[in-house]
Structure 1
């Protein structure tokens, strides 16, 4: 069948450059989405629901990657045997949810590092019909990152769900309000232009060095081992109150992303210090992933999937190298300064042209050396950094799938050569932080405890911070 598809070029769609980078011999990245349900799932509904709701969303869910005569990859439609894509594990009978917790954790960790077959569409679902401390049953989506970015794929998954309270109404999301622009005089515009130029030059060359020459120090969150992507991993989660995050945000006059990024940085430094006191001053970098679509926010699933307004389906992402502030450095003396420092660094980097310049550099490298070379470049960038941070906004209302109420959801990335990935998603007033950690190297329980401690410390300090007055 594969040979037949290679010979047939009619109807094939070219794979995007990023899609080819993410499905190469050196790099295969997957998105793992986890839906937790309040009731046991009806397994008999899985295939009809996939046929009716999931496959029609996008042709890529019914396509495989093939190579043309020029060795360029294309999406080719195939007949999908849904039974090959639905997995239902069987666990030993247990009397306690704690035992099922362990079985579920081991199962999730195992399927996260397994490679998806290339001779069928690059996705699968796993129905885990065993009770854990988090849910009565769990549905795991494993999707190849070449299919699209988190924005596209989350929109696809959520389009299969409906509001639990009002099924006839669409799911909606908190909308991001753009900040008001302030008019500047000549001196202000000149200063901004010079800052833009300086930031661009510094960030661009530092990014090149970080991707090719300079490595982060080996620390309790970065092993530096070769082939980390093939080593066992663990996936765990932490929950925070979104209202408390918003309280910190309003007290400090920052954004929600600033708050959670600062807390994660602070929590990781506390963990590093607890494992090895000298590492509190080690050089560490986070790769913070950003959506590059021209969108200020989305309010419904239709908005997420509206290609005309938000840019075509695919991988519209980039990353910024963000140095993780050091404990007790010259600029850091209190926990709150982790948040202000994170805000300062990210805001400065986003106010440069490093993102489009980096994209142009990768395109040039792709044309000269090929997709495999760019994939190797991205692999090196990931392996030289200490962690990856990514986030998505989730629905504000309770969801259900075919009358199965959704209790919670989270996601993570797998297949990369980093020791630590931190993924953040909101749902019904709860901010869920997922930790994908290198097993036997990172103590995920202690790391979770340190991040919780960082949150509580920051919350207490923010409550004592003078409340801003309106003028």
Structure 2
């Protein structure tokens, strides 16, 4: 299937699926053969008419994809064998309550592999960067046909400054959350030197999000154990109250990062920048914190730098506005991350033991918007913020109110992702360019902020 970005916009809108049961579909017990597991509550939310929620993943490839048949064969042997990728959500009206369920269907791979028509004349890799960026952004405005499984691969065989070709995966959010899909896609790959082996990955969290410590012997240790429960309860209560306050009256400061009402459905521009993971780790080691703590600090520094410049462009005074409130909803995986071996077995043998789907909670994170003389103060603040959030059940509590939270916050003018692989880390942003027209400048602020913080961390290490 081929089509230009403009042609993709002209695809037919979703059509209604006939879900009535025929006589041939009835089994001896009176149930239907296709009746599968219900779509999760979060997955059903993403199917509401007001949402057009997809996950888009971009893969840089070392060589062009000249053998599309090999790609189809590989997907048929892996991804298509997963129940979610060979089913469609249908409305089961047979009972007293309407339930959205997954129904297995035949997968026609030609419907899911898209090779767009792009300029045939060779252009420079730098200009191709913009071409790929525009193409991927066009996907944010199109929907997928719900009469077939809700996923697709786009193959873009043009060289960019970072890769020889690009593959773009787009899947409906009801297929799973980001962690599930990344794990599943990696489980569909094999090592280049040994096609029989799965890729080697760092250890992942195999247990629940929050585990209460066991009490140690002694009255003092027992009292500290009781106190940890009190602190956990208090922090969770405060976080829930802040959510309620946000619902009623607590609003963020009007800044260039805040979008207008209704922009959730506007076109998104996907931009990214590569940074060195070693730079992040050097700050982590110097500060005695975690990678996530460093990233919170870098984000605070970059947003402060961006907003300070915007403020100086529009105001006469150079003084930075105080008490600027900029908050973000941080998505948290609240179930053990499925290992790629478990997911590979699920696809190869039809097992369903691996936990998969949409089980995400939310944390509301306020980024300090301030200009620090010492760049390491951003990391110190980030460490304190992360430590406070780790000692709260906010993510678990918000999971049960996901529908309310998504409707309250939605997808705003700026969505930020950090994705690490090998020794690199990608800073990826989805922005509404009618609100943030200089997204590449904002990426520069992230790179510069990390550079300044790393330099300060190196000086601190030499002193110690």
Task: Determine if the TM-score, normalized by the shorter chain, exceeds 0.5.
Answer: yes
Alignment of 1:61-210 (within 5 A): 61-69=85-93, 70-92=97-119, 93-175=121-203, 185-210=221-246
Structure 2 CA distance for partners of 1:85 and 1:274, relative to 1, 3 Å? same
- Point out which structure has higher relative CO (alpha carbons under 8 A, 6+ apart): 1
Partner Cα separation in structure 2 for residue 221 and residue 44 of structure 1: 44
Where 1:139 maps in the other structure, the secondary structure is: strand
Change (3 A) 1:314 1:110: same
> 1:252-401 to 2 correspondence within 5 Å?
252-277=287-312, 278=320, 281-294=323-336, 301-303=340-342, 312-328=355-371, 334-361=374-401, 374=403, 377-382=405-410
Q: 1:3 to 1:20 in 2, by over 3 A?
A: closer
- Indicate if the aligned counterparts of 1:263 and 1:338 stay in contact, CA closer than 8 A: yes
Q: Secondary structure at the match of 2:84?
A: helix
Query: Which moved further from structure 2: 342-351 or 11-20?
Result: 342-351
- C-alpha displacement of 1:3: 5.2
- 1:115 deviates by 1.6
CA separation in 1, counterparts of 2:63 and 2:427? 23
1:215 is the counterpart of 2:264: no
1:464 aligns with 2:447: no
CA pair 377-318 structure 1, distance change in 2 beyond 3 A: closer
Is the Cα contact below 8 Å between 1:123 and 1:144 reproduced in 2? yes
Greater alpha carbon shift after TM alignment, 59-68 vs 460-469 = 460-469
> Cα distance, 1:281 vs. partner?
4.4
State the Cα deviation string for residues 296-350 of structure 1 (Å, max 9, x = none).
xx7x62156678999621112111001111204xxx6532222222222222122
Structure 2, gaps ≥5 residues long? 1-14, 26-31, 313-319
Q: Is the 8 A contact 1:211 1:378 kept in 2?
A: no
* 1:128-159 residue CA offsets vs partner (Å, 9 max, x unmatched): 01111121111100011100112221122112
- Aligned partner of residue 276 in structure 1, secondary structure: helix
- State the TM-score, normalizing by the size of structure 1: 0.81
Distance change >3 Å, CA 197–CA 160, structure 1 → 2:
closer
- 2:28 matched residue in structure 1: none
* Matched pairs, number: 415
Please state how far the C-alpha of 1:176 moved relative to its aligned partner: 5.4
Determine the structure 2 residue equivalent to 1:18.
42
How big is the alpha-carbon RMSD for the aligned residues of Structure 1 and Structure 2?
2.8
Could you tell me the TM-score, scaled by structure 2's length?
0.82
Alignment CA distance shift 1:248-1:304 (3 Å):
farther
- Does residue 1:421 correspond to 2:460, yes or no? no
Q: Displacement, 1:44?
A: 3.2
Take 1:188 and 1:117, find their aligned partners in 2: how far apart are those partners?
Answer: 56
> Are the equivalent residues in 2 in contact too, given 1:219–1:279 (CA < 8 A)?
no
- In the alignment, the residues of structure 2 paired with residue 294 and residue 48 of structure 1 have an alpha-carbon distance, to the nearest angstrom, of 30
What's the offset of the Cα at 1:432? Answer: 1.1
User: Which one of the candidate residues 441, 448, 452 is aligned to 1:453?
Assistant: 448
Question: How much does 1:211 deviate?
Answer: 4.3
Pick the aligned partner of 1:41 from 65, 68, 73: 65
> Does the aligned pair in 1 maintain the 2:362–2:398 contact within 8 Å?
no
- Give the deviation of 1:5 after TM superposition: 3.5
State the partner residue of 2:317: none
Q: CA deviation at 1:233?
A: 2.1
Secondary structure of the 2:418 match is strand
Return the offset for 1:468. 9.9
**TM-aligned CA deviation for residue 276 of structure 1:** 1.6
Match of 1:370 in 2: none
CA distance in 1, matches of 2:386, 2:245: 18
Larger Rg: 2
Contact 2:213/2:225 (8 A) holds in 1 = no
Distance 1:305 1:208 in 2: 41
